[in-house]
Structure 1
Amino acid sequence: MGARIRDWQQLWNAGLDRLEPFWPYIAAAISISLAITVTIHVAQNKRDARAAAAWTGLVWLVPVLGAILYFMLGVNRIRRRARQLTGGLIDSEDGWRVAAEPLPACGHLQELSRLVGRLTHLPLVDGNRVEPLDAPQAWRAMLAAIDNATESIYLATYIFGNDAAGKPICEALERAVQRGVKVRVLIDGVGALYSLPSVVWRLRRRKVPVQRFLYSLAPWRMPYINLRNHRKFMVVDRRLAFTGGMNIRAGYIQSPPAITDLHARVEGPVVGQLLRSFAADWVFTCREVLETSYSGKAQLGDVQARGISAGPDADFDKRRLTLLAAIGSAEKRIRIVTPYFVPDLTLLATLQLAILKGVEVQIVIPRKNNLRMVHWASLHALSWLVNEGARLYLTAAPFDHSKVMTVDGHWVMLGSGNWDARSLRLNFEFDLECYSDALTERVDRFVDSRIETALQLDTDGFRQIAPWRRIRNALAHLMEPYL
């Protein structure tokens, strides 16, 4: 046996010796084959020309390694897996027909409603009550709702801190489980690591069913590391919901607060759409199918609303197209509040067109950002809009994490999504679009309160920025597709 092994080793070594002069050609052939394969795949699957050009350049300039990185990070495997696991759940209308949906009273926004209906495959529904809440109010209301739950609690969040905000929620969820309430908690796999030790272990010790979305340190799971579930909502007893931009973190409720935000308490038939979004994420994560039927009253308020679930599992960028349509529909005023404003060139151009046709555009961002590169890129993009006539306001501390947009005093969208490439293309986001003059007036008052204490940065202010800072901002903006 030993002699046979030695013979095989000698044959192997002899073969390698004969191939030695050809190794450079073999390596070049492998490298070129990989580059051609990736280039073809990129050309067929990437809609963003800049992303396609970047990946193509990488695989040719950095042979083999570029191809490995592309197959790890550049291929969208989520869409196929989501369809396999959710079946028809994501696009199910539960008996509602988009063609029969009500139209907004404001005539010039009716086409916007029709378009978003086609994007989401969900109808605009009447009879909802939507109450905007600041972060401390929302945290207290969510805690009370958990304690009053009798049937079910479905909670999805990006960050769930193991801190002064998260621990009381954990204890309330434990009490709900002990009462026999069906509790399901979904935390993003990366967001769960923001607070260590992770709250996941605290929940599991309390017998609270919890899952982490796309969480794994295994090498074969690395292709999903860049795709995060940024949705933030809770549905209680299939009739009451909370949604918006707020994570569960102590910074929101401490005194003085380090972070401020806008969340909303939602009642009415649109809660069924939040249920559907959670159920799709839950079955995607652990294959358990949940009940998605709305159990509340059909008429609780006068807000027409629709949920917009967007993410890399969709065939097109629902949220981005909704923003483009809303900007194009505006006739008088657009107001945007966001912590991260780095839109792509199409969104920027559409905002510029709105300004040129006489629409007032107001944008509110934090004066100091927790992500410096994003802030620098934001200032560069915003300088173009301010030069066209947009009004830019920079808010002082606490850090404003709100994500709100209003149009013409009739339409409002609030939720988890920002104005950056991550929220527009990579993250799973949930936003609520609402048609209601009264609700929009309340949200506009919230925006007014931010503007009252903000610093306005006009064209003169931009000119006073040091040249080296302007260069820094411009260089940061080159990274826009990756921020």
Structure 2
Amino acid sequence: MTLQTLFEEYWPHLVFLVSVVTGATAAVHAAMTKNDVRAAISWVGVILMSPLVGPFLYLIAGINRIRRDQISQQRDKSLKEYSRIQSPTNFEIAEYSARQFESLRLLGDKISRHPLRNGNNIRMLVGGDQTYPAMIQAIDQARKSIALQTYIFDNDSEGRKIADALARAKERGVEIRVLIDSIGSKYSRPPIIHLLRKKGIQTALFMTNPLGLRMPYANLRSHRKILVVDGRIGFTGGMNIREAFVTAVAGDKTAGDTHFRVEGPIVMQLISVFAQDWEFTTKEALPYDTWCDETSSPPEPKVPARCIWSGPDRAIVSTHNMLLGAFAVAQRHIRIQSPYFLPDATLLGAINTAARRGIIVDIVIPGSNNLRLVNYAMTAQLDQVIRTGCRVWRARGNFNHSKLITIDGAWSYVGSSNMDPRSLRLNFELDVEIYSRDTALAIEKQIDGEIAHSDRTTLEGLAEIPFRKRLRNRIIWLASPYL
């Protein structure tokens, strides 16, 4: 009997055997490597219910291929190099914030590899109308180095303005590195990476070509937003680079967002995170003297702050743990603004416990969302916070992409993280905790301004949604860990 005859006669048995072996192998891998029981159960279920397609999907989207030991060692090395002056400073939290946050400071010391440093100047920038001109001004004043990292860098009118500013800096002899997420780079066609490279700017894509395949990692993305100029001025927050945030272009459809311009020791922390991701992507180590400036003195006022980076490696629950600690120490008022509000059961428990303790909890989400499926899933979960006394507000008007949290008018948490499963477990994120009454007040005004133009969501309103839509929302909510 020839091999061909054998295959023709027994191919159903061979397919069954292959499906059993691959399915069992993938299921065992998921059960042994997933630390989140919900993720483990979900993937094992997908694999067992679809023995051929399931293992393939798990191979593409379910396996964390980041070599934890290698990337952690790279980060340890980079942190030691870029944190020479990053020793903790002694000061009383109550002087800048409130005494209740001393315990949160201790929690941050254990979660973040960056110490809480005093002496930072932090200025909030609202929308693209303020943010992009400030970024271009800093780029045009650069003397030695520019580091830019973002999730989306569109090849549109605003993206090309920043590309042109980078090109002008390149002509002046400034060292430039640009890091764009491989999936985020595809939001515009053609991707701007070709234009940047044509202008001679060193640009790389984060997380591409796994296992030699011409495809990006489907589930692991760099969602960080960092711009550091001369190791002296930094920008971070939630804004991508897109013309949709600029009034002159988008008009009455302009999307909202919030970003922050920073000076002081926290800039060293920003460049440290960038240097780690750049070396992980390109294997190029950035020299300390070119990318850092230890001599600059930021303007007043100066406040304590630090970076909290998270991602699917050893820092996987950094932001998750910081928020749990922050909600636990709240005494009066928690304000949360998030475009994608899908906290897991643990965070929901912390938020609801705060509300039951008598803390005022305001949650602001967009009335008009750019991700329809996420909006459906959010709607399906809102009753879980409303029942405990939380106030949920759907903002009228255009979509707002801001990610802002303040507690008791004294502590703020801002950055790239959404309050959803992707940000909390899958994405590489960067956030900043700020101990400052003035900063918290400015953010509170921003959030309260949204609330003033919002409609409050109630249990009665949710019950009035037609059954078929409520059922649709719940079905999509079941898939929320994968949205």
Q: TM-score, normalised to structure 1's length?
A: 0.91
What is the CA distance between 1:460 and its match in structure 2? 3.0
For 1:113, the equivalent position in structure 2 comes to 105
Compare 30-39 and 240-249 and name the one that shifted more.
30-39
Pick closer, same or farther for the CA change 1:353–1:79 going to 2, 3 Å.
Answer: farther
What is the CA distance between 1:40 and its match in structure 2? 2.8
For 2:423, the equivalent position in structure 1 comes to 423
Alignment-mate amino acid for residue 180 of structure 1: G
For 1:122, the equivalent position in structure 2 comes to 114
* 1:265 correspondence with 2:228: no
Residue of structure 2 aligned with 1:94, choices 68, 83, 86: 83
Pick closer, same or farther for the CA change 1:93–1:241 going to 2, 3 Å.
Answer: closer
Q: What is the distance in 2 between the residues matched to 1:447 and 1:287?
A: 41
Map 1:282-293 to 2 at 5 A.
Answer: 282-290=278-286, 291=288, 293=292
Alignment-mate amino acid for residue 119 of structure 1: I
Query: Quick check: which has more Rg, 1 or 2?
Result: 1
1:183-235 alpha-carbon deviations (Å, 9 max, x no partner): 11111111111111221111112112211112349863647232111111200
Map 1:31-50 to 2 at 5 A.
Answer: 31-50=19-38
Pick closer, same or farther for the CA change 1:344–1:98 going to 2, 3 Å.
Answer: farther
Compare 262-271 and 386-395 and name the one that shifted more.
386-395
Q: Work out the number of aligned pairs and report it.
A: 471
Compare 248-257 and 198-207 and name the one that shifted more.
248-257
1:441-464 alpha-carbon deviations (Å, 9 max, x no partner): 111111111111111222332233
Per the alignment, in what secondary structure is the counterpart of residue 176 of structure 1?
helix
* 1:177 correspondence with 2:203: no
Residue of structure 2 aligned with 1:155, choices 148, 153, 173: 148
Alignment-mate amino acid for residue 287 of structure 1: K
Unaligned runs of 5+ in 1: 1-12
Map 1:402-413 to 2 at 5 A.
Answer: 402-413=402-413
For 1:7, the equivalent position in structure 2 comes to none
* 1:241 correspondence with 2:234: yes
Alignment-mate amino acid for residue 316 of structure 2: F
8 A Cα contact 1:156 1:186, kept in partner: yes
Q: What is the distance in 2 between the residues matched to 1:19 and 1:191?
A: 44
Compare 279-288 and 456-465 and name the one that shifted more.
456-465
* 1:210 correspondence with 2:203: yes
What is the CA distance between 1:59 and its match in structure 2? 2.2
Compare 424-433 and 81-90 and name the one that shifted more.
81-90
Residue of structure 1 aligned with 2:40, choices 48, 52, 56: 52
For 1:133, the equivalent position in structure 2 comes to 125
Pick closer, same or farther for the CA change 1:101–1:225 going to 2, 3 Å.
Answer: farther
Per the alignment, in what secondary structure is the counterpart of residue 35 of structure 2?
coil
For 2:342, the equivalent position in structure 1 comes to 342
For 2:448, the equivalent position in structure 1 comes to 448
Q: What is the distance in 2 between the residues matched to 1:148 and 1:221?
A: 38
Per the alignment, in what secondary structure is the counterpart of residue 451 of structure 1?
helix
Per the alignment, in what secondary structure is the counterpart of residue 264 of structure 1?
strand
What is the CA distance between 1:137 and its match in structure 2? 0.8
For 2:192, the equivalent position in structure 1 comes to 199
What is the CA distance between 1:96 and its match in structure 2? 5.7
Q: What is the distance in 2 between the residues matched to 1:65 and 1:440?
A: 49
For 1:295, the equivalent position in structure 2 comes to 294
What is the CA distance between 1:43 and its match in structure 2? 2.4
What is the CA distance between 1:302 and its match in structure 2? 2.5
1:119-172 alpha-carbon deviations (Å, 9 max, x no partner): 112100000010111121111111111111111111111111222211111111
Pick closer, same or farther for the CA change 1:65–1:84 going to 2, 3 Å.
Answer: farther
What is the CA distance between 1:48 and its match in structure 2? 0.9
Q: What is the distance in 2 between the residues matched to 1:374 and 1:349?
A: 21
CA RMSD of aligned residues (A): 2.3
8 A Cα contact 1:125 1:306, kept in partner: yes
Q: What is the distance in 1 between the residues matched to 2:7 and 2:139?
A: 69
8 A Cα contact 1:268 1:296, kept in partner: no
Q: What is the distance in 1 between the residues matched to 2:445 and 2:6?
A: 79
Unaligned runs of 5+ in 2: none
1:215-273 alpha-carbon deviations (Å, 9 max, x no partner): 34986364723211111120011011011111111111133252111111101111100
Residue of structure 1 aligned with 2:275, choices 276, 279, 286: 279
Alignment-mate amino acid for residue 108 of structure 1: Q
Per the alignment, in what secondary structure is the counterpart of residue 78 of structure 1?
coil
Q: What is the distance in 2 between the residues matched to 1:176 and 1:60?
A: 55
Pick closer, same or farther for the CA change 1:232–1:151 going to 2, 3 Å.
Answer: same
What is the CA distance between 1:22 and its match in structure 2? 6.3
Alignment-mate amino acid for residue 242 of structure 2: R
Q: What is the distance in 2 between the residues matched to 1:76 and 1:205?
A: 33
What is the CA distance between 1:71 and its match in structure 2? 2.7
Per the alignment, in what secondary structure is the counterpart of residue 196 of structure 1?
coil
What is the CA distance between 1:425 and its match in structure 2? 1.1
For 1:3, the equivalent position in structure 2 comes to none
What is the CA distance between 1:313 and its match in structure 2? 2.7
8 A Cα contact 1:93 1:122, kept in partner: no
What is the CA distance between 1:46 and its match in structure 2? 0.5
Q: What is the distance in 1 between the residues matched to 2:53 and 2:460?
A: 46
Q: What is the distance in 2 between the residues matched to 1:181 and 1:442?
A: 34
Q: What is the distance in 2 between the residues matched to 1:459 and 1:98?
A: 49
8 A Cα contact 1:302 1:436, kept in partner: no
* 1:74 correspondence with 2:67: no
Q: TM-score, normalised to structure 2's length?
A: 0.91
Compare 112-121 and 272-281 and name the one that shifted more.
112-121
8 A Cα contact 1:214 1:225, kept in partner: no
